[in-house]
Chains A and B, each alone.
Chain A
Amino acid sequence: MIQLQNVTLTFPDGENRITAVDNASLRGNNGTVTGITGPSGSGKSSILAVAATLLRPDSGGVLIGNGSDMTDAAQLPKHEATQLRREGIGIVFQQSNLLPALTAREQLQVMARLGGGTSRNKRAKIDARVDELLDAVGLTEHAGKRTHQLSGGQRQRIAIARGLVHEPEVLLIDEPTSALDQERGAKIMELISRLTHERDTATLLVTHDLAHRHTLDDLVTVLDGRITTPIAGRALIR
């Protein structure tokens, strides 16, 4: 589970500060896809960046975990936040952001090698799951291909598999269909929904494309940094 509690994030703007996220609270439960929508500049990507520990909020907490084993990611020192991203959070970027020199299989394998001092057991564990995830996203036959040999949809599926290969508690996805046509976009959204449910992951998904809203379990709207409209309602902490 991931829970944002009263998160406020500001940026310097000349002598003043502008508020990107204004006292936002939000919960993503395990096994659910929580959509975050809103117009451009509303602060939805900033919420995702805070959830990913890429930005530290001015105030508020980002709790990740389950039951009594919850970590406030907003309070972690930098190296621990990096470790959390490596072990507890999966990130899927707006564009796939795959590494051009790596094959599809290696895009997943690299997740076991990010820490430098990765243990052999952990590496073997992740490597063993690579084939399973490639199969789950339907790209087993393309495992040896590099980025430029894959279509946009295939790249995004590899990115999703990369986000899940280390079995994270939380999966954060930024505009996964923005570069895809309707048909491919629908397939990606269905894939995200299926894998989230199968793997019991707490998925937060930023999108301004509501054509596939039926694949979301929850949806909140962000406007001027505030979470304003609970559409399904379950994700909003009142």
Chain B
Amino acid sequence: MRERKGIIVFVAWRELRFARGRFLLIGAVVALITLLVGFLSGLTGGLAAQNISSVLQLPGDRLVLQQPENSDPSYATSSLDENTVTAWEQADGVESVTPIGIVQSRASASRIDDPTGVALYGLPQHASGTQSNPLFDLAPVHDDEVGVSSGAADDLGVETGDTISITGTDFTVSVVGDDLWYSHTPVIALTPEAWSEASKRVGGTGEATVLAVTANADWEAIGAATGTVAETPLASLTALEAFQSEIGSLGLMIAMLFGISALVVGAFFTVWTMQRAGDMAVLKALGATTGSLVRDSLGQASIVLIAGIGVGLAAVIGLGTVAGQALPFIISPITTLAPAVVMAVLGLAGAAFALRSVTKADPLTALGSNR
């Protein structure tokens, strides 16, 4: 005789219908929290992309920044002179070094009255040790040309062949590429020479900001010898002050929302299972196993959570699509499914915490009880 396995939710399912007002309420709360978490995640993802999408395209095993004596490394202040670049190029184990300049400035085009804030990248035409990527696809061939990211092209209202002005110098748009950002400004790529001149015109040194290094080397030793620090691309993001503060505060809000959701769902199911304790005692007295009652309770919680999270997720995708036209908002598995899964896991953990009144229900209390 084949045994039927799986969650038995005979009672739980009927309770959901019987007490639909209460379950709709908690389902709505779960949906709203999912909406909040999803929106915050999408916004965080969007803001993060506007901060770092170009940095994540930098080639190499490590990114080398200047190590100031009394502060942390920073993309905004890093400046690496020729001697430093040469020292890295000649260090043992180093295969390739690509000097890259980054500076924020303004650009203007004849079609737009106001100048637009942009991030100027000084990129060699062919970065050694790299394959084609969206950032280096912007690299222009000639000093009087620029590669423009689609965000900058939109802001400036330009397309290939148009002229834009950067720090008083005119450039011809040679290519319009992917949507790449640096510290909330869209990217425009120049040749290293043109970038160096532009950097000097906005008060910079004209020297490279960061080295993209491919190597199997003693990173710390070379860094200490050259007054630099070599970080992985992800670790180097802490040198972007805007990114650090944004992600820190938004991440904290998301974590707190997760905590709140676990508490709310846990508290609801604690009260609910306490109210069910009498029914649990009766079912146990009639011969229900504790395991089947636990599955029943967790099945009930799962149904409420899945329904609530599903509605919340649909709202995130719907509203996020609309919001994405005006806000930096990203809809992706990381900003939707991942928070939903975390919500479900934490909600079930909260519900599981409430199971004590199920496992401890004494069937003896069913005898003589007045229900």
Please report A residues at the B interface, Cβ cutoff 8 Å: 45, 48-49, 52, 54-55, 79, 82-87, 89, 91, 93-95, 97, 99-102, 106, 109-111, 113-121, 123, 146, 162, 174-175
Contacts and interface: CB of A to CB of B under 8 A. Distances in A.
B5 A117 contact: yes
A82 B367 contact: no
B289 interface: yes
A91 B363 CA distance: 12
B14 A106 contact: yes
Interface size class of B (residues with CB under 8 A): 20 to 34
Among B8, B17, B279, B289, the one with the most A-chain Cβ atoms within 10 Å of its Cβ is B289
Interface string B1-36: 111110010110011011100000000000000000
Given A85-B287, A114-B283, A174 B14 contact: no
Contact of B285 (A79, A83, A85): A85
Interface string B258-295: 00000000000000000000010011111111011001
Tell me the interface secondary structure of chain B in the complex: helix
Contact of B289 (A55, A97, A100, A116): A116
15 contacts: A49-B367, A52-B285, A79-B289, A82-B289, A83-B287, A91-B285, A94-B370, A97-B369, A99-B279, A99-B282, A101-B11, A102-B14, A117-B4, A119-B2, A175-B368
B88 to A, nearest CB: 66
A101 B283 CA distance: 13
B366 interface: yes
A55 B364 CA distance: 8
Contacts of B287: 82-87, 89, 111, 114-115
Given A82-B289, A115-B292, A93 B367 contact: yes
Interface of B: 1-5, 8, 10-11, 14-15, 17-19, 279, 282-289, 291-292, 295, 363-364, 366-371
A45 B366 CA distance: 12
Contacts of A49: 364, 367
Nearest to A100: B18
Contacts of B284: 82
Contacts of B292: 113-117
B2 A97 contact: no
Given A49-B364, A97-B366, 15 more contacts: A45-B367, A52-B285, A54-B364, A85-B285, A89-B287, A93-B368, A94-B368, A101-B19, A110-B286, A113-B8, A114-B289, A118-B4, A119-B1, A146-B18, A175-B368
